Amino acid sequence: MSDPAQSEQAAQGEEFRRKVFYLSGYDPRGARFYHWLYSQQADIYARNSGHDITVSARKRSGPGNHAWTVRDETDRSTSEFEFLGWDEVIRGTWGRNPAKLVWDALRATLAFTAAWEWRKYAHRIPKPSYIAFYYPALSVTALPVLLIAIIWLAAGPIAGIIIGIAASVLVARVMKSLWLMRFIIFNDRISRGEPIAKLDERLTEMAGTIGASLGEDWDEILLATHSNGSVLAMPIMERLLSTRDQRMPENFALITLGSCIPVLAMRQDATEFRRSVAAVAQGDFLWLDLGSPTDGACLPLVDPCITSESRHRPEQYILSPRWFKYCDPATYQQRRRNKYETHFEYLRTFESISPLDYLRVTSCAQPLRNSIAAFTKDNT
């Protein structure tokens, strides 16, 4: 997928220089895990693409942030990554008391259900997203009761209670119910505008870090966010746009992967968050929103700014990654069985290299706009 501008740049001996800011989802694992994941996938990408790629060691780059360098010798490109850490905030909200966790999850689930604008938006929510949203609460309420009742009838009350609870805990762990419950609780707090310790301070610091790079000499600047990181991208982008008359530089782009922005914005009581989304909708910048219908933990192919009443939008591309097209059928079926891991496939690479492959987009010697055009052409 050669690009004339890229070929001319390479012929002149010029190097493509990119700055990537990465904002993870609601995951306490932090920079160490995501640096390891990128390095692992870069090795796979190198084998599948034939590119000579190296990933440097990770180092601290400021309060909560870490940095590493990705060098593609084949493309003559360098990408400087900055991991925008907020795992300290996450750990501070990571409920550990089982009884309180279940109670808070049930309360948060009911709060979302009561506050969603069902008449306006219910038809836009895919069925897998409904399942992913409601099964955590059901897995710790209805499922234990059902299993205890069945085993009680077959083996008696003591066996019913012991085996039923043990089986329910096992199912909850396998299905990642506890992680999803924490995810729902956290987003309920965001929706209601409840203050979260250190979060607002971190968002302001992140916006400042990104803003400082906008005047630097980069061929491209990307803010790449995943899952709940896309939710936090809204107040960050609002801060950035407010200082730039609602217009980002031409070399800037926002990437939201597996986003759940509308899940929060569809709540009638999410006043502050909806205001941020509406402000971002007024901005002028390139925005790629990538969501797969096989990923129940996001809201795929739905305008992230659906709740904004303004007709204005950034230059948006709302696309499915179409992983099935870039993966061996048997391997694809095997990979999609694990619903939790499916939510992280946006950060991985496949046998055939998609123009919107995350490793390619963040390391190749051409801007995101060209990659989007190549993907669109490849899928028409």
Per-residue pLDDT of 228-284, as tens digits, reads: 999 999 999 999 999 999 999 999 999 999 999 999 999 999 999 999 999 999 999
At residue 215, the pLDDT reads 92
The rounded distance, in Å, linking the Cα atoms of 321 and 298 is: 13
The rounded distance, in Å, linking the Cα atoms of 69 and 234 is: 26
AA letter at 11: A
CA distances from 232 to 7, 223, 226 (A): 37, 12, 10
At residue 207, the pLDDT reads 97
Q: Mapping DSSP to helix (H, G, I), strand (E, B) and coil, where does residue 341 land?
A: helix
At residue 12, the pLDDT reads 53
At residue 170, the pLDDT reads 75
Q: Mapping DSSP to helix (H, G, I), strand (E, B) and coil, where does residue 156 land?
A: coil
The runs of H, that is alpha helices, within the chain are 4-11, 30-49, 87-93, 98-115, 118-121, 127-139, 142-155, 157-174, 177-191, 199-213, 228-242, 261-265, 271-281, 329-336, 339-342, 358-361, 368-378
Give me the CATH topology for the region 4-89+197-378. Answer: Rossmann fold (3.40.50)
At residue 326, the pLDDT reads 95
The rounded distance, in Å, linking the Cα atoms of 367 and 108 is: 40
At residue 13, the pLDDT reads 61
Q: In the chain, which stretches have pLDDT less than 70?
A: 1-13, 172, 174-175
At residue 191, the pLDDT reads 95
At residue 3, the pLDDT reads 46
Cβ-proximal residues to 163 (8 Å cutoff; 6+ apart), any chain: 147, 151, 155
The gap from C-alpha 20 to its chain's centroid, in whole angstroms, comes to 15
Q: Is the CB of residue 58 less than 8 Å from the CB of residue 30? A: no
The rounded distance, in Å, linking the Cα atoms of 362 and 355 is: 11
At residue 5, the pLDDT reads 43
Q: Which residue is listed with tokens 């640096």?
A: 35
At residue 138, the pLDDT reads 79
At residue 282, the pLDDT reads 97
Both tokens assigned to 328: 């061996």
